Amino acid sequence: MAVPPEFLEDLRQRIPLSDIIGKRVKLTRKGRRHSGLCPFHSEKTPSFSVVDDQGFYHCFGCGVHGDAISFLRETDGLDFMEAVERLAGMAGMEVPRSAPEDPDRQRQRKAALDILEETTRFFQAALLRDDGSAAARYLQGRGLGKAALSTYRLGYAPRSGLRTALSARGFSDDDMLAAGVIRRSDRDGSLYDYFRDRVMFPIEDRQGRVIAFGARALGDAQPKYLNSGEGPTFSKKQVLYGWVQAREGMRRKLPLVVAEGYMDVIAIQQSGVATAVAPLGTALTEEQIGHLWKLHDDPILCFDGDVAGQRAQMRALERLLPVLTPGRSARLALLPEGKDPDDLLRSAGSDGLLKILATARSLVDSLWIGMAAQHDLRQPEQRAEFWQQVRGMVRQIGHNQVRSAFADDIEARIAAMRTASRGDARGGDTMRARPRVRRPATGAIHRHRAICALVMAHPGLLAELFEKLLSIDSGDEALERLKKAAIDAVIRDPDLDAAALRHHLIGLNFVDELNVLEGEELKARMPFDPTKLSSEEAGGQVAELLQLVSGASGLFSSPGISTR
């Protein structure tokens, strides 16, 4: 019985080879490889190497070499189909029970690959002709150089000519239809080129073979983006755009970024400071996550800083948590609202991208912050709901040890919140009993802004004083939202410095509120520059201001916070 080669390739990718061999051999990780004592011959010094990225093992002592299937066959004495079934059982897959693969299907798949390769060359050549000048100008305007065009094999689909060119190469209409490069009209049954007047992005498999296309319209044509349909060579849930090029970046030890679009991937790669891949218009699938981890153990997922980007973060977490394993994770980074990585690189350069990547949060921090943002943590019932939901997310983690490690971290955070809340209840009864004034006097708002300016410049004070800060209300809804967001951020990541906190808040669209705190008007009212005070000095000023908003007198007793 023949097993489809696509199934075998998928099967080999599902479980890291080191997980299979590690059940029999004690392996030690060394960079991208694992090493240990060879199970096929006696030795005292490890010469057996396992390479997950490429799915093979090799012994430099006895020369044995193979993949997951051959390892099971050699160690357990299984025949080929028994080894396939054993591996499929480990991966939770069912072996297709089919007759030997149809020779016509094999021929059609090979023909599709040949057609897609020939089509890529046709599009590349068209980009250099006069009718491709608009596409060339578009790509040049996006900052892409010749190296990027060549590396990603970008091209232009003219309004016609592809079918004729492929026919001249001996390809049939049926094969072209199966490959997805031509379509049949519903109106009159005529055949036409599927991609017309578009910038073309070839999509490659992990062997570097073109298996599909992404296309962007020039002008106002709709849809703006168009992808190949699924067919004999292409299943979008299995593929990451730019995987082959990203593998080259891994050899240079660059960080791996998961972006949203083709241009983002190419721009990041061209920057030279990171490498990138992108899913094809869908949320990350389990298969794509597996492909990511073949490149890098800790990729960085970039999201827009708006509300939609935050929702996308939570969807990514829901996909990642169930498949986490020890040593395999991801980090999540928020971009400034309205900017994608390509925009950021053009406006802030490589340094701007690196700053964003440096602020990427771990999964546990992203989980905690993302879910906390959906609750008003000042309210006890909201805290209880938040704790219940975040614990539920942790329970989705499939690996026992990873789940336990996450649970320990989350429970420690919950315990810290409980301790802080109890302290607030003991020490803040008087302040809690006092009705909050929604519209304070004009001068009073400057005191509240001064408090916020001080704690933004010294985030450590937020963690120390958050219960007191939450117990006062400026009456300015925007300022209160800013204060709550800053407190939430610092509680979840106590190591945030002023710059990182500011960047986080900008990502949450608090630009206007921060401009008020950093503006000349407030500076003129304060007898100091918050950024030039020591943390101890800033803490003293905050303590006095907290007394003032409670009715005491002192340095800031003048409503305008004038200098002495």
pLDDT of residue 63: 85
Contact 525, 560 (CB under 8 A): yes
Domain finish residue from 371, 394, 427: 427
Which of 63, 91, 119 is the last residue before a domain boundary? 91
Dihedral sign computed on CA atoms, order 142, 145, 149, 151 = negative
Give pLDDT, residue 98.
60
In a domain, 301, yes or no: yes
Instruction: Looking at the structure, tell me whether residues 84 and 110 fall in a common domain.
Output: no
Residue 476 lies in a domain: yes
Amino acid letter for position 79: D
pLDDT of residue 101: 59
Q: Is 257 exposed, middle or buried (0-12, 13-18, 19+ CB in 10 A)?
A: buried
Q: Please state, in angstroms and rounded to a whole number, the distance separating the CA atoms of residues 456 and 462.
A: 8
| Residue 556 forms part of a structural domain | no
Give burial (CB, 10 Å; 0-12/13-18/19+) of 225: middle
- The enclosing domain of 31 has a CATH number of 3.90.580.10
Give pLDDT < 50 ranges for the chain: 428-442, 552-560, 562-564
Residue 554 lies in a domain: no
Query: Is 84 inside any structural domain?
Result: yes
Tokens of residue 545, six digits: 């201001």
Q: How far is CA 506 from the centre of its chain?
A: 19
Instruction: Give the C-alpha distances (Å, rounded to integers) separating 14 from 90, 116, 290, 415, 539.
Output: 9, 27, 7, 38, 53
| Domain boundary pick from 197, 212, 234 | 234
Q: Based on the domain organization, do 394 and 452 belong to the same domain?
A: no
Whether residue 25 contacts residue 57, with contact meaning beta carbons closer than 8 Å, is answered with no
List pLDDT tens digits, range 79-100. 788 788 888 888 888 888 665 5
Question: Does this model's pTM top 0.75?
Answer: no
Q: Say if residue 45 is exposed, middle or buried (CB neighbours under 10 Å; 0-12, 13-18, 19+).
A: exposed
**Total domains present in the chain:** 4
Greatest Cα pair distance in the chain:
91
Residues 345 and 444 in one domain: no
Are 147 and 230 contained in the same domain?
yes
Residues 370 and 492 in one domain: no
| Number of helices and strands in the chain (H, E) | 25, 16
Per-residue tokens: 326: 């020890």
**Which residues make Cβ contacts (< 8 Å) with residue 473, sequence separation at least 6?**
436, 437, 438, 480
Are residues 413 and 322 located together in one domain of the fold? yes
**Omega before 4 cis (within 30°)?**
no
Sign of CA dihedral 23, 24, 28, 34: negative
Sequence-ordered list of residues with C-beta below 8 angstroms from that of 90, at least 6 positions apart, any chain: 15, 20
Task: Note down the domain range covering 211.
Answer: 103-234
Tokens found for residue 107: 């021929």
265 inside domain: yes
- What the block records as the tokens of 181 is 């490069």
Are 187 and 84 within one domain? no
Q: Is residue 401 in a domain? A: yes
User: In this predicted structure, what is the pLDDT of residue 181?
Assistant: 96
To the nearest whole percent, how much of the chain has pLDDT over 70?
Answer: 91
Q: Are 78 and 172 part of one and the same domain?
A: no
Could you tell me the CATH number of the domain that includes residue 401? 3.40.1360.10
Same domain, 176 and 257: no
Nearest Cα residue to 297 out of 238, 367, 362: 362
559 domain residue, yes or no: no
Domain CATH for 126? 3.90.980.10
What pLDDT, on a 0 to 100 scale, did the predictor assign at position 563? 35
Let me know whether 466 and 438 are in one domain.
yes
Domain identity same for 350 and 441: no
Q: Do residues 302 and 414 share a domain?
A: yes
Compute how many other C-beta atoms are within 10 angstroms of the C-beta atom of residue 42.
8
